């Protein structure tokens, strides 16, 4: 993406995210309107829906020919990755928002023909906006980020998802044992930021497109690897176990699947 095009989008998307943050903070001290989706651990609030509705309205106005894939279904019915596609997670870590009012994120990204172009990942309570574009680099707020050290799994913390560890899916317990320690934060967005910053060497979870599309662009731009647990490249419309890791940690995790 050309730098001038990115700067134009960055100004707009940052304003949309500021509006979504303000909406979250407006509801911060009030009881939320919480509904269950597939079960008691899968929640949605009016804030998730309001944020998505506003993002969809802004994108329709600023990029009218693009399609929109949003978690809460207020965008388009997207079955392929052709053309311009915005992917939105209007509030990532809804359970954390409901129970902790902490550790939740907002994520938006733009793909063209399945290739990630630009991404915005906001750690709301940390006041951190990670943003960047293919070929241009990644910023944390206004500071350009440098690539995290390529540490091996044995020298870093591993972020895993609770259900995968409990059921020992894809050798999760061995991965945890090989690392310096396991962490579970409950928001894919926040977990991605920790790998981007070099605080953790990997994050592995069952993820849907809106959970990893944004983090994938930022991670790859910083020299990290995003793959399936057996080393395949996930397409942006994939559903499954996805990991983001340093190159060395990814190699060790993939090797454990066939050992
Ligand atoms: C969820 C969170 C969670 C991850 C789930 C996601 P949501 O997103 O990122 O950490 O384990 O797979 O669905 O539903 O809160 O946006
Ligand atoms: Ca959800
Ligand atoms: Ca999510
Ligand atoms: Ca969400």
Domain match, 237 and 206 both:
yes
Kindly compute the dihedral angle of the four CA atoms of residues 227, 229, 232, 233, in this order, to the nearest 10 degrees.
Answer: -20
How far does the centroid of ligand 3 lie from the alpha carbon of residue 189, in Å? 7
- Whether 164 is in the pocket of ligand 1, judged by its Cβ within 6 Å, is no
CA dist 130 and 5 (Å) reads 18
Q: How many domains does the chain have?
A: 2
Domain match, 16 and 79 both:
yes
What's the pLDDT band for 21 if we cut at 50, 70, 90?
very high
Q: Any binding-site annotation on 113?
A: no
**Counting atoms of ligand 1 from 1, which one is nearest the CA of 185?**
10
H/E segment holding residue 250: helix 247-258
For 134-211, strand residue ranges (E) read 137-140, 143-144, 157-160, 181-183, 202-207
Reported as a single tens digit per residue, the pLDDT across 108-155 is 999 999 999 999 999 999 999 999 999 999 999 999 999 999 999 999
Reported as a single tens digit per residue, the pLDDT across 167-185 is 999 999 999 999 999 999 9
Which of 96, 101, 108, 205 gets mutated to test ligand 1 (max ligand atoms within 8 A of its CB)?
205
Residue 259 has pLDDT above 90, yes or no: no
User: Which of 122, 144, 166 represents a domain boundary (last residue)?
Assistant: 144
User: Which of 144, 164, 180 represents a domain boundary (last residue)?
Assistant: 144
ipTM for this prediction: 0.98
Q: Any binding-site annotation on 92?
A: yes
160 - beta bridge partners? 204
Give the CATH number of the domain where residue 193 resides: 3.40.190.80
CB within 8 A of 165, min separation 6: which ones?
A: 172, 173, 176, 182, 184
Range of the domain at 136: 3-144
Q: Looking at the CA of 47, name the nearest ligand.
A: 4
Q: Looking at the CA of 192, name the nearest ligand.
A: 1
Domain match, 52 and 167 both:
no
Residue 187 in tokens: 């928001």
Reported as a single tens digit per residue, the pLDDT across 66-114 is 999 999 999 999 999 999 999 999 999 999 999 999 999 999 999 999 9
How far does the centroid of ligand 2 lie from the alpha carbon of residue 44, in Å? 6
């Amino acid at each position: 993406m050309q730098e001038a095009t990115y700067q134009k989008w960055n100004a707009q998307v940052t304003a949309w995210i500021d509006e979504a943050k303000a909406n979250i903070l407006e509801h911060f001290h009030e009881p939320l309107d919480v509904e269950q989706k597939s079960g008691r651990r899968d929640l949605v609030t009016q804030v998730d829906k309001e944020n998505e509705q506003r993002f969809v309205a802004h994108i329709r106005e600023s990029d009218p020919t693009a399609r929109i894939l949003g978690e809460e279904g207020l965008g388009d019915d997207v079955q392929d990755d052709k053309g311009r596609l915005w992917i939105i997670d209007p509030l990532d870590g809804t359970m954390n928002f409901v129970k902790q009012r902490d550790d939740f994120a907002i994520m938006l990204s733009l793909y063209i023909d399945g290739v990630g172009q630009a991404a915005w990942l906001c750690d709301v309570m940390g006041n951190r906006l990670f943003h960047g574009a293919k070929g241009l680099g990644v910023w944390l707020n206004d500071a350009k980020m440098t690539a995290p050290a390529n540490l091996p799994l044995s020298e870093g913390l591993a972020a895993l998802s609770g259900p995968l560890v409990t059921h020992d899916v894809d050798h999760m317990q061995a991965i945890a044992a090989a690392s310096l320690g396991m962490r579970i934060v409950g928001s894919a967005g926040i977990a991605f930021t920790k790998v981007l910053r070099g605080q953790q060497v990997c994050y592995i979870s069952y993820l849907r497109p809106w959970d990893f599309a944004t983090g994938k662009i930022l991670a790859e731009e910083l020299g990290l690897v995003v793959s399936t647990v057996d080393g395949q490249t996930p397409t942006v419309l994939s559903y499954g176990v996805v990991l983001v890791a340093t190159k060395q940690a990814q190699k060790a995790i993939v090797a454990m699947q066939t050992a």
